[in-house]
Amino acid sequence: MEVHHTQHPTHKKKWSEYIIEFFMLFTAVTLGFFAENIREHLADENKAKELLHVVAKDLRSDLDQMKMLKQMEAEKIILADSLKTILNSNPKNVDQSDYYRIIMNFASFYVLNPNDKSIIDAESKGYFFKKENKDLAYLIKQYNFYLKDYMQSDKLFSEQANRFVNVIIPQITDPEIIDKIWRLPSPPLKNKLGIKPIKEDAKIQAKFFLSISKGFMDGYMSDIDSMTLYANKAINLIDNSK
């Protein structure tokens, strides 16, 4: 027995239907493309905001460091003046404990360790070149200018500081006493009048270094004031950005 299937006539599409289908497909692909671009743009915007907030956090950390360093540098100037006064005094009338305490405190040098990785990262990604960040870019540029000046000055001063520790201190101190107190923590000395007589040439070298160091401390504090100004402005700009 043969089975006969009814044959349905094939529908012929009109050219307008092909155009509509093509248009719908094109529209779907285009909308998907734009949606993906918008998604990536929003993701990039969020990443930029997150990184800039890290920049603000790191700047706050640097400000804490700089506040401490500025206070220490102001104290160094006072110590330098005190040490110069002692060097001009009769060594028999100098309190041994005060003298060595001043030398130990003055010979302790600390350096700024900037948290600049986030700033470098933001610069490399071009976040500071965006139109909406031009004010922030200027503030960061100024901050980096004074930071660079500070670090260059610190490099120069470290050479002088090493000479003070390795050349000058041996000429103006007693090695037996230095052996006892050049430790961490430094043990206290008993109050006792009289220190080792210091040769005139050693006095001149020491006083010259003390004068030079005061100039560096003034420069450090000036740079810190400028960095503080621009860092605070940059932080406020980031915190208030939408």
pLDDT per residue over 119-144, tens digit each?
888 888 877 777 777 898 899 999 99
DSSP 8-class letter at 205? H
| 21: in domain | yes
126 backbone φψ class: left, alpha, beta (φ>0; ψ -120 to 50): left
| 132: in domain | yes
Specify the 3-state DSSP secondary structure of 77: helix
Residue-by-residue pLDDT tens, the chain, 242 positions: 455 545 555 555 566 665 666 566 656 555 554 444 544 443 456 667 788 889 999 999 999 999 999 999 999 999 999 999 999 999 999 999 999 999 999 988 888 899 888 888 888 887 777 777 789 889 999 999 999 999 999 999 988 899 999 999 999 999 999 988 888 787 888 888 999 899 999 999 999 999 999 999 999 999 999 999 999 999 999 888 76
Quote the mean pLDDT of the chain: 84
| 174: in domain | yes
Task: Give the pLDDT confidence score for residue 72 in this predicted structure.
Answer: 94
**What is the C-alpha separation between 48 and 177, in angstroms, rounded?**
57
| 89: in domain | yes
Please give the structure tokens belonging to residue 7.
Answer: 């044959």
| 71: in domain | yes
| 6: in domain | no
Report the first-to-last Cα separation within the chain, whole angstroms: 81
